[in-house]
């Protein structure tokens, strides 16, 4: 059994805010892939500086080839009359194959009516 889960969360605090979090998964032909992205943008005043947080994560279970990558970026522009904060996070998770060390190999060559090649 192959299993992939991903999640994303975005929070913003400020006078003007925007958040977005999206996840998507694909399963087929012995492959499961998940992707999550989250963005948070906030604009505030010098009296109340804006704050943002974007988080994504993922988990893969099963399969014998698993890959994942998570990236986080955050930018703060604290200068001027309207400071801005931006946070972005992405996660990619994938797993492939069946969790069996002999998958893809035939056992027919290992068993025969011959005993040590003597018959």
Predicted confidence (pLDDT) per residue in 45-93, tens digit: 878 889 999 999 999 888 888 899 999 999 999 888 899 999 999 999 9
> Is 84 a domain residue?
yes
> Is 102 a domain residue?
no
The count of domains in the chain is 1
> Is 60 a domain residue?
yes
> Is 114 a domain residue?
no
- pLDDT value at residue 115: 47
- Residue 15 to residue 6: CA distance in whole angstroms: 30
> Is 109 a domain residue?
no
pTM (2 d.p.): 0.77
- Residue 96 to residue 57: CA distance in whole angstroms: 19
> Is 116 a domain residue?
no
> Is 8 a domain residue?
yes
High-pLDDT (> 70) share of the chain, %: 82
- pLDDT value at residue 46: 76
Which residues span the domain enclosing 70? 3-96
The answer to whether the Cα torsion of 95, 97, 100, 104 is positive or negative is negative
Residues paired with 23 in a beta bridge: 36
Question: Is the pLDDT confidence value at 39 over 80?
Answer: yes
> Is 118 a domain residue?
no
């Amino acid at each position: 059994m192959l299993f992939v889960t991903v999640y994303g969360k975005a929070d913003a605090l400020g006078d003007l805010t925007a958040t977005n979090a999206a996840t998507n998964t694909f399963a087929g032909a012995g492959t499961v892939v998940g992707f999550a992205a989250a963005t948070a943008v906030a604009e505030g005043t010098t009296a109340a500086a804006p704050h943002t947080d974007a988080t994504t994560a993922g988990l893969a279970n099963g399969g014998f080839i698993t890959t994942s990558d998570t990236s986080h970026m955050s930018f703060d522009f604290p200068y001027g009359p309207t400071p801005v904060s931006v946070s972005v996070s992405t996660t990619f998770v994938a797993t492939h194959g069946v969790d069996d060390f002999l998958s893809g190999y035939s056992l027919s060559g290992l068993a025969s009516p011959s005993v040590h090649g003597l018959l």
